Structure 1
Amino acid sequence: MNAIQYSEYDCEDTGRFLTEACLAKQGFDIRVERAQWSNAGTALIDTGDNCLLRLMLPASSQIKPNCGTFSNGGGRQFQPLGKLLFIPHGTEFHLRHDACEQKALVCVFDPASLGVLGSYRWNWQDSVSEAMLNLQSGYLHASLQRLADEVSSPGFASELQTECLLTSIALDLRREFIDGARSAETRSDHQRKLSPRQLNLLREMLNEGEDENRSLRRLAQACELPVRTLSTRFKNTTGMTLRHYAAQLRLEKAMALLANPRLLVKQVAYQAGFNNAAAFGAAFRKELGVTPEEFRRQRQG
């Protein structure tokens, strides 16, 4: 892809890249691409004046995810890359890979070249974040998957469809990283709130039910915030403490499980994340005013 400067600097084998499908126009170049590295190494990726989005596709053989960072120093460490990552223009991205083969949608585009978006300033420098290395937006994931389908099997007015999708994607990224960061800077710390991405991430981790993922330290690390800041911003956003919110999620899950008559109350308690049936019963009655058994009978009635 001509818009990307890829320079391997840790090993002689620079890897092989095979384009399976592509759709290019002034302002964007989108490809379904296979990459294969026979050795581990590190590479510098410079997108110049363009932004890059990459969505991992099925048929990739990786024992563990590749890693990356926006800085080759300054204390930043290489982070595992998610299925969906974003590299804004004007940044140098360092990729650390293992010997592997992967298939991905690689989308290189210039937001300023997408119709009306040319009237906006696209300065990402003050908003570069490690969150870009593992985007958690279901909307962006779905939009990139649609782009992959469009490139692989072009339909009527594919270029127009692609440009519309990219315009929407660019606006969503801007709201998350440029405008979101700017609005946060204008508020004092005790007034700041969590972003929609952070809220969704917290809900997913709390719903997983694993004690390790529910620890305040792990939640704060995932949101890239200090523990105390996470607690403050969560209450600013939702009006409740993280502990109360987690308890409500457990009870919501328990109420849904109680609709299954084949599950014992004890099984519902453990599956909802309670340590034992007694703690479950006490929490349930305190919040709803009835026992789990009474709630189940009322629902069945």
Structure 2
Amino acid sequence: MGNVQTTGHSSADVILCQPVTASYFHVENSIVANGIRADIRHFAWERSCDAQFEANSHYLDYSLGPRAHGARLLSEGRRNTPPFGEVAYLPMGSQFEARCEPSEYRVLCLTFEDIMAERIFQSEDLPGSLPPCFDVKSPWVRQGLARIAKEVRNPGFAQDMLVETIALSLIIDLCRHLQMRPVSDDMCDGRMADWRLRRLQERIDAGLNGPLSIVDLAQECGLSSRHLMRTFKNTVGTTISSYISDARIMRAKRELVQEGAMIKVVAGNCGFQSAAAFSAAFRKATGISPRRFRQEMLHGAR
């Protein structure tokens, strides 16, 4: 994501919510119908960058491949916004700090300057304004976007009417879905939200070669340390400290069976301060020493 190209007027040639920090940006296919624009957009970033993003239209996109790893939109500088899922929605006027990593990906993007669409978004029957959603789970919205993507790639008879009809229908499904979401995305039974668990696991996996602080991990997913420990155990069934210890041993097992692996190097890669501390922890977890484990695994592979 990046800065958008702000426009004072609209037309079929105007591309709303266009990033200007991307190293490469191209609209591969497009259908415009009464102010509803459906684009297949190809983005690329050659280097990491920070920017500001403001949606100058209601923005709904559907990923046509893996999302950019590490890309984030952060509301008011917070670190606890969830990563993007397959479908994302940003309301018009929403502002974020954007963090972009080297990546390349394609999305189907819908932007709206349609009178009927605006009436739906601003309907008095909705109890409040729609919040941004980085991972829209509604199957109806996803199915509608998938059909529009297929039409944009291979347009047929009455393409504009078809896109407009499906787009208006999925806006209604989107509004229903977002208004039914609970205020908190942590479940009432004290379990951790899926996006928080994924981010936590990614952070732990990336940091196994060094110390992992409960305080830092809690900050990473926007929770207090106490709430993190409680919801993690309710969700995974083990304490976060035990999970980290098990993850270190699992990585050590993978590295020990690699050709030429040295015990001291494996110990450092897995966050142990010395080979002795690593050997003690490994023996406690497996019942054998790292050297014995390596010998048995290599001998069994012959």
TM exceeding 0.5? yes
- 2:197 counterpart letter in structure 1: L
- SS state at 2:285 partner: helix
- Whole-Å Cα distance in 2 between the matches of residues 192 and 284 of structure 1? 32
Partner of 1:285: 283
- SS state at 1:214 partner: coil
Partner of 1:253: 251
Partner of 2:95: 94
- 2:272 counterpart letter in structure 1: F
Q: 1:126 to 1:41 in 2, by over 3 A?
A: closer
- Whole-Å Cα distance in 2 between the matches of residues 203 and 194 of structure 1? 12
Q: Is the 8 A contact 1:44 1:92 kept in 2?
A: yes
- Whole-Å Cα distance in 2 between the matches of residues 184 and 105 of structure 1? 28
* Deviates most, 268-277 or 147-156: 147-156
1:103-252 to 2 correspondences below 5 Å = 105=107, 107-108=109-110, 128=132, 132=134, 154=154, 179=181, 181=183, 184=186, 187=188, 191-209=189-207, 214-252=212-250
* Deviates most, 25-34 or 150-159: 150-159
State the 1:218 CA deviation.
2.7
- 2:61 counterpart letter in structure 1: L
Partner of 1:21: 29
State the 1:19 CA deviation.
3.8
Q: Identity rate of aligned residues, in percent?
A: 21
Partner of 1:45: 55
Q: 1:184 to 1:27 in 2, by over 3 A?
A: farther
Unmatched runs of 5 consecutive residues or more in structure 1: 9-13, 70-75, 114-120, 138-142
Pick the structure with more helix per residue. Answer: 1
- Whole-Å Cα distance in 1 between the matches of residues 285 and 222 of structure 2? 32
- 1:268 counterpart letter in structure 2: V
* 1:30 aligned onto 2:23: no
Q: 1:295 to 1:79 in 2, by over 3 A?
A: closer
State the 1:233 CA deviation.
0.6
Q: Is the 8 A contact 2:209 2:268 kept in 1?
A: no
- Whole-Å Cα distance in 2 between the matches of residues 81 and 156 of structure 1? 39
- Whole-Å Cα distance in 2 between the matches of residues 184 and 231 of structure 1? 14
Number of equivalent positions = 242
State the 1:278 CA deviation.
1.1
Deviations 1:212-263 (A, max 9, x none): 7832233222212122211111011112111110010010111111111310
- SS state at 1:30 partner: strand
Q: TM-score, normalised by structure 2?
A: 0.56
Q: TM-score, normalised by structure 1?
A: 0.56
Partner of 1:295: 293
State the 1:52 CA deviation.
2.2
- 1:295 counterpart letter in structure 2: F
- Whole-Å Cα distance in 2 between the matches of residues 106 and 249 of structure 1? 37
- Whole-Å Cα distance in 2 between the matches of residues 238 and 271 of structure 1? 25
Q: Is the 8 A contact 1:43 1:95 kept in 2?
A: yes
Computed over aligned residues only, the root mean square deviation of the Cα atoms, in angstroms, reads: 5.5
Q: Is the 8 A contact 1:105 1:148 kept in 2?
A: no
Q: Is the 8 A contact 2:210 2:270 kept in 1?
A: no
- Whole-Å Cα distance in 1 between the matches of residues 296 and 61 of structure 2? 51
- Whole-Å Cα distance in 2 between the matches of residues 93 and 52 of structure 1? 13
- Whole-Å Cα distance in 1 between the matches of residues 282 and 54 of structure 2? 54
- 1:230 counterpart letter in structure 2: L
Unmatched runs of 5 consecutive residues or more in structure 2: 9-17, 44-49, 118-124, 138-142
